[in-house]
Amino acid sequence: MATTQTNTRPPRGILQDAGELAVASDRTGNTRHRYAMVVSFNTEDELRQAIEAHQCRYQDSQAIQEARHG
């Protein structure tokens, strides 16, 4: 019996911010996270894939890149 191996890569997000963050959510209200990062995705489908797979790749946003090199 042949097995099919899929080589799907995790969705790629964009690192928008990192550090101490405040999050406002309809489900949990306002919450502060001391060590956190915000990764955004281009589509809701990419977000769902990352959540379901418990993984994603990410690249720095333009603002993060400029802050690191500026």
Average pLDDT over residues 9-27: 93
Q: Is residue 1 part of a domain?
A: no
* Burial class of residue 11 in the structure, from the number of CB atoms within 10 Å of its CB (0-12 exposed, 13-18 middle, 19+ buried): buried
Q: Is residue 8 part of a domain?
A: no
Average pLDDT over residues 37-65: 95
Q: Is residue 62 part of a domain?
A: yes
User: What domain count does the chain have?
Assistant: 1
Q: Is residue 60 part of a domain?
A: yes
Following DSSP, what letter does each residue of 11-32 receive, concatenated? Answer: PEEEEEEEEEEEEEETTTEEEE
Q: Is residue 33 part of a domain?
A: yes
The whole-chain average pLDDT of the chain stands at 90
Percent of the chain's residues with pLDDT above 70: 90
Average pLDDT over residues 44-50: 96
Residue 61, domain extent: 13-69
Better-predicted residue by pLDDT, 43 or 70: 43
